[in-house]
Amino acid sequence: MASIQAVCQIVNTKGLHVRAATLLAQLAGTFDGTITIEHGGEQANAKSVMNLLLLTAPMGASVRIVVQGDNAEEALDAVQALISSGFGE
């Protein structure tokens, strides 16, 4: 199964904190495929709030989003939109 990926910048002032990680995990959980977020040489399952928090991605950090699955393009677009929106903050 092929994967697609994109790089996105964390734009909200608090970075990937608890609320943002929760929103991202909830969104990722709506898709069947695998969604991985990479930052600073670390990888996190986007469906796990705890994994996302361990990335410690602050404002301005670039994260790579890697998606595999049947609806990969839709999932990638949704995750990029959430991150680019500053998680609604």
Residues belonging to the active site: 17
Burial bucket for residue 40 (CB in 10 Å: 0-12, 13-18, 19+) = exposed
**79: closest CA among 31, 14, 12?**
31
Spatial contact of 89 and 58, defined as CB atoms under 8 Å apart: no
Q: What are phi and psi of 54, to 5 degrees?
A: -70, -15
